[in-house]
Structure 1
């Protein structure tokens, strides 16, 4: 991490390591317009600032929540808006409610699948007991 008198900046490798993602992930979010790192030197080196890091943290959280890129962009753009904007907070709450409902539905499906796996496992174990030990060679 490079530190100057006014701000902290990160190279693409430093920020990727800090966030536990690949440099390709950072470039994806740059191409998507989520972050806009400054260019240094010859114009090819990227310098990510605190704003970029904060936006990436929000984007990665949105990804973990299963949000679409459009939903992530909307949430991340709220980062730059005036704090306390009730309409923005309501939109965020609506998005989070949809994410929660989707995750709950997925959890229910996983619970049903796990119960089915457990049932088949019990049946297999019971059948093995009925059959007895496998014959030896």
Structure 2
């Protein structure tokens, strides 16, 4: 069943929807990434950009390695930048920087793997020599 724009989610419904804990959602609130409505003492999250879609954006950005500061900066530009040009430029800059970091990590990993393979080969050869002496 398709949810309407007016549908509200409880924190447990939203956490189930994204397979994350309610504690994670509350943590994002403390970092000012989510600002749910309050109905009585309960949090109410909307189906709109401000909640459900924003949480999906946060989780994706975290999965890609962006910091919470980067994510908040990007989200804050959504309302402040009507044509979204500044927001897109910021995102492009952050994406390029993150790709550079990942490419460097990839290179570092390949070097580490080659070194470990070399050590492994040396160990195997030494064990063969030792076994040949017995």
Which category describes the TM-score, using the shorter chain as reference length?
0.7 to 0.9
Greater relative CO, 1 or 2 (CA 8 Å, sep 6+):
2
Aligned residue pair count: 129
Residue equivalent to 2:36 = 37
Report the Cα offset of residue 28 of structure 1. Answer: 0.8
Contact persistence 2:81–2:87 (CA under 8 A): no
Report the Cα offset of residue 84 of structure 1. Answer: 4.5
Q: TM-score by structure 1 length?
A: 0.80
Runs of 5+ consecutive residues of structure 1 not aligned to the other structure:
none
Q: TM-score by structure 2 length?
A: 0.81
Separation in 1, partners of 2:84, 2:78 = 11
Contact persistence 2:28–2:34 (CA under 8 A): yes
Q: Is 1:89 paired with 2:88?
A: yes
Separation in 1, partners of 2:57, 2:98 = 15
- For the aligned residue pairs, the C-alpha RMSD in angstroms reads 2.3
Runs of 5+ consecutive residues of structure 2 not aligned to the other structure:
none
